[in-house]
A = this chain, B = another copy of it.
């Protein structure tokens, strides 16, 4: 598989070696829980490249700023010479981790797995370095193909039923009377075995993966290995203050968005979240993050300026200083002048009439129907400066017309 070259690959050479305590402190800035903290310190002191397991399932390769938190932590370690192992769960993707999902994920074909892997890799190398010694690509079919049924039975013999059903997500499903298919129940054993196969030193995951990775620690011990350290990263509320960034709620900043779109989305952040987002999503000094938070709490122009600083810092981190400065200038120009932006997103449409709801969904396919209805009823949708409020209202559109669907989300209609 080709290794796409993202910004990460062209990043400056590794920073000067930092003291283990300093590396750990950098990680802890965005750490929620850490299991095996002393172990990690010991390992950092060993001076060898650590193996950082970065397991991905290949069903939803659409990353946002929340995912980037883990990537930036791994980037800190890469800059110290440690190796991220980008592990394609091609065997386990054929099952799907049932985490929080009511239905089993669709089974992927080899072709889909390959495509998703490439898309995923292109996104993560926007943050991660891709020198071969710092980023390795593996597939868990390497060991599961070899393991066979008897081997899997041996692994399963190391784990009890009681332990697996203690997973909060399984407990919730059992309590709700939902069914758990057996391939789902054993998923943590498979994910855990990945750590054994890689002799993983560390993995940095979302809280929902903690159970599975703790299973990895257990299996590692049973195989005579030192158990990996598990770090769960900090989760922030979404742009709108909702529990977290989520594609279906539209309250997120996509990693692949243009600098201008990232900037515009960041400017929709709730004032009271500016300090938190600065701490979690930028590399600004902590004192400065706190200062941004205080300015945002003051509201009005101070809050707007704090948010401009935050947005610039986030975009600078991901897309560089020039892009960040240009995005800021463009935003200020449009915002201050009430002008339309110069670089609107093209919106290809067939001629004809459609409902206002369909127009919004054409522009913002990531929204649910109910979220689109709320945009309309909230007055956030305009067509050539006339506001659309009724979801079922029929509207006629022409080539070149401008649609605004949400705060600072501009589209220009393009007809064939």
Contacts and interface: CB of A to CB of B under 8 A. Distances in A.
B185 A161 contact: yes
B189 A153 contact: no
A332 interface: no
Interface string A176-197: 0001111111100110000000
B148 A104 contact: no
Nearest to A90: B150
A159 B181 contact: yes
Interface in A154-204: 154, 156-162, 164-165, 174, 179-186, 189-190
B148 A148 contact: yes
Contacts of A164: 182
Find the residue from A145, A148, A159, A162 having the highest chain B CB count within 10 A.
A148
Nearest to A161: B180
B91 A149 contact: yes
Given A160-B179, A161-B180, A95 B147 contact: no
Contacts of A147: 148-149
B153 A95 contact: yes
Given A148-B149, A182-B164, A157 B91 contact: no
A144 interface: yes
A153 B183 contact: yes
Interface string A131-154: 000000000010011011111111
A153 B185 contact: no
A186 B182 contact: yes
Given A162-B174, A164-B182, 8 more contacts: A91-B153, A94-B153, A95-B157, A156-B182, A156-B186, A157-B181, A160-B179, A160-B181
Interface of A: 91, 94-95, 104, 141, 144-145, 147-154, 156-162, 164-165, 174, 179-186, 189-190
15 contacts: A91-B150, A94-B153, A95-B153, A141-B150, A145-B150, A147-B149, A148-B149, A149-B190, A156-B182, A157-B183, A158-B181, A159-B181, A160-B179, A160-B180, A161-B179
